């Protein structure tokens, strides 16, 4: 087997792994914009800001609780920030690590969780914004 054939085999295997990896991270979508956040604050809304990173196991573990909260609080505004792609928002919210959930009641921050995956703790924190 030639060196080129060996290389081609490695590339094929690598590409196969990359294709398999993509769907696992597709569940996270950034929805944050400064306008959405400011408008929600002015309206005194219950706001939940989730800071995630693609491939973060803790972020993925938080998703069932956030999904439950979206059902429980349909009037709340849920915003997601990609930790690596939105440095400005990460700095604005003083986030030091992905898997951070921040809850606001209008303009007041009422809860902040970092790395928490316990459903009861996440839902209790989110309830503080009502």
Return the pLDDT at 114: 97
Return the pLDDT at 28: 74
Between CA 63 and CA 105 the distance in angstroms is: 21
Break the chain into its structural domains and give their ranges.
Answer: 34-127
Task: Give percent helix, percent strand, percent coil of the chain, each to the nearest 5.
Answer: 50, 20, 30
At the topology level, CATH places domain 34-127 in: Glutaredoxin (3.40.30)
Pairing of strands 77-82, 46-52: parallel
**Residue-wise pLDDT tens digits, 22-65:** 344 446 788 999 999 999 999 999 999 999 999 999 999 999 99
Pairing of strands 100-105, 46-52: antiparallel
Question: Does residue 10 register a pLDDT over 50?
Answer: no
Model pTM score:
0.78
Q: What 3-state DSSP class applies to 82?
A: strand
Between CA 94 and CA 8 the distance in angstroms is: 45
Return the pLDDT at 27: 65
């Amino acid at each position: 087997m030639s060196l080129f054939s060996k290389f081609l085999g490695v590339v094929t295997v690598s590409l196969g792994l990359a294709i398999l990896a993509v769907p696992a991270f597709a569940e996270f979508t950034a929805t944050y914009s400064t306008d959405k956040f400011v408008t929600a604050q002015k309206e005194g809304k219950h706001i939940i800001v989730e800071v995630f990173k693609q491939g973060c196991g803790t972020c993925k573990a938080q998703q069932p609780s956030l999904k439950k909260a979206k059902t429980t609080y349909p009037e709340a505004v849920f915003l997601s920030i990609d930790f690596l792609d939105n440095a400005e928002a990460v700095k604005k919210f003083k986030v030091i690590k992905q898997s951070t959930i921040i809850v606001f009641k209008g303009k007041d921050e009422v809860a902040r969780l970092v790395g928490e995956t316990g459903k009861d703790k996440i839902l209790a924190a989110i309830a503080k914004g009502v």
